[in-house]
Amino acid sequence: MKFDFSRIKRTVDVAKLRDATVVVIGNGGAVDLIANLGRSGVTKFKLLDKDIVTDANLCRQGFEQADIGRPKAEAVADRLRRINPEVEVTTLICDFCEMTDEDIDREFGDADLFIFATDHFPAQARGNQVALRLQKPALWLGMYADGVGGEVVFWHPGIDACYRCLVEKRFLAHELAKATGQSLDPPSDGCTIFDIGFLDAIAGPLAIGLLTRGSDSRYGKLIGALGDRNFIQTQIDPDWTINGRRVVREKLGVPDACKEFFAWNTIARTDPESGFKVCPDCEQFRGDAAVPFFHGMPIRMPGKRPATQN
């Protein structure tokens, strides 16, 4: 059976995608994203999810009645095969956080892109270490509570700020919560398939952009166009605020008097926490040689943490 990509070839470097292996950690919320990457020309997938499809998943994840009771990764793999029989899919039904570095090297050493589509913070955090250690491009998707907004973070070895550098305060908050036996993972109730789809529409082109970076195609130029603005944030609910601030309106410079401003706006930020600080993961896995400068500043004096600029 043939798969004809002629209608998207100006936008997507399909030939380059064909050789790429995409690893997706967390498959439930990413069913449609994975399927649409398959439609766009990705043919090699490694899907990891420890969960089974339940009847509560159908209202917002792209599963069907026949999938109930099956591992999510296998249900998604079958959907991919129905779309394009040429796809090569490997499924792993396990907990990413329980994999050792050796397991990860064996299973994912050939990855060209990691996608962390999980709202479980420990998996996102481990993902950052894996991406840095293996020097592999990665993408993190995160919906905010109730689906009022979301974020997509991307990283590749040419970018200074890793996921943890960008949201170090979040890492500290999670560590603090863990020490007292709590979890700060956002509750996913309230987030609909439309909210997830909105984030997918941003994450999909970024994924293809990372895989075909430098190609003379629209998506091949995307990552270069973004440069170090690797924290993408999107407003879905018109009333969404962070700590009382209407961040998107603020960043876009839209005055309160502008009544046309509504929702579904996206901003690309360089450093949301204004940290200008090298995170512990970068110190551990990249070192001074890998990151000679950070946002134009020397990272540190020998033996010292860099100065924080707030």
Closest CB to Zn ion among residues 104, 279: 279
Q: Which amino acid is at 159?
A: I
What residues pair up with 102 in beta bridges, in sequence order? none
Closest CB to Zn ion among residues 236, 279: 279
Please identify, among the stretches 77-85, 140-148, 211-219, 272-280, the one whose residues bind Zn ion according to the rule CB under 5 A: 272-280
Closest CB to Zn ion among residues 104, 165: 165
Please identify, among the stretches 23-31, 160-168, 181-189, 219-227, the one whose residues bind Zn ion according to the rule CB under 5 A: 160-168
Largest Cα–Cα separation, the chain: 60
Please identify, among the stretches 48-56, 78-86, 142-150, 271-279, the one whose residues bind Zn ion according to the rule CB under 5 A: 271-279
Q: Which of 88, 85, 54, 56 is nearest to 69 (CA)?
A: 54
Q: Judged by CB under 5 A, which of 16, 72, 126, 164 binds Zn ion?
A: 164
Closest CB to Zn ion among residues 96, 276: 276
Residue 130 as a binder of Zn ion (CB under 5 A): the answer is: no
Q: Judged by CB under 5 A, which of 211, 279, 291, 299 binds Zn ion?
A: 279
How many residues sit close enough to Zn ion to count as binding (CB under 5 A)? Answer: 6
Q: Judged by CB under 5 A, which of 196, 282, 291, 299 binds Zn ion?
A: 282
Closest CB to Zn ion among residues 49, 281: 281
Q: Judged by CB under 5 A, which of 33, 139, 165, 196 binds Zn ion?
A: 165
Closest CB to Zn ion among residues 115, 162: 162
Residues of this chain that interact with Zn ion (CB under 5 A) are 162, 164-165, 279, 281-282
